[in-house]
Amino acid sequence: MDHLKLTIDKLSIEAISELVINDSCGAVSLFVGTTRDNFEGKKVVRLEYEAYEPMALKSMKSICDEMRNKWSTLHGIAIYHRLGNVPCGEASIVIAVSSPHRRESLDAVAFCIDTFKGNVPVWKKEVYEGSEPVWKENVECAWSSKRTQRV
């Protein structure tokens, strides 16, 4: 089963991982993306996230479908992303994947976060202490101007 959510609420890593636990699975792999307190020498106060929610949820479901095509043994997939203000130290994204064996769930979690960052319309603004906030662009984004520079 797939569990997909965009929310302004604080993310519970434990509750999200419990969504994918199953007696037939020996592995639950997690990725937790948190707000760090610095970027290139600047003190980060918080991140602010916005999303085009219908399109983001559709993209998240598409990622789940692609994961299930690549790893047919996956049981549960949960992708939760926080919107609004996310203070330092708190999770902005939690991905949980269960499978009978660890390799599939570990590979699927890595694939999921990389694909999410490249395809899901969620935007991030870094808010700094003492300077102007900056909208950030993921280099993984299909529409990123930075992507062509990496060639």
Q: Does residue 122 register a pLDDT over 70?
A: yes
The number of C-alpha atoms within 13 Å of 10 and in the hemisphere containing its C-beta is: 6
pLDDT, tens only, 59-86 = 999 999 999 999 999 999 999 999 999 9
- Does the pTM exceed 0.75? yes
Arithmetic mean of pLDDT, 52-61? 97
The model's confidence at residue 142, banded by pLDDT at 50, 70 and 90, is low
Say what the pLDDT of residue 147 is: 47
CB burial of 64-85 (b: ≥16 within 10 Å; e: otherwise) equals beebeeebebbbbbbbbbbbee
The rounded distance, in Å, linking the Cα atoms of 10 and 21 is 21
The model's confidence at residue 150, banded by pLDDT at 50, 70 and 90, is very low
Arithmetic mean of pLDDT, 30-52? 95
Task: Go through the domains of the chain in sequence order and give each one's CATH number.
Answer: 2-142 (3.90.1170.40)
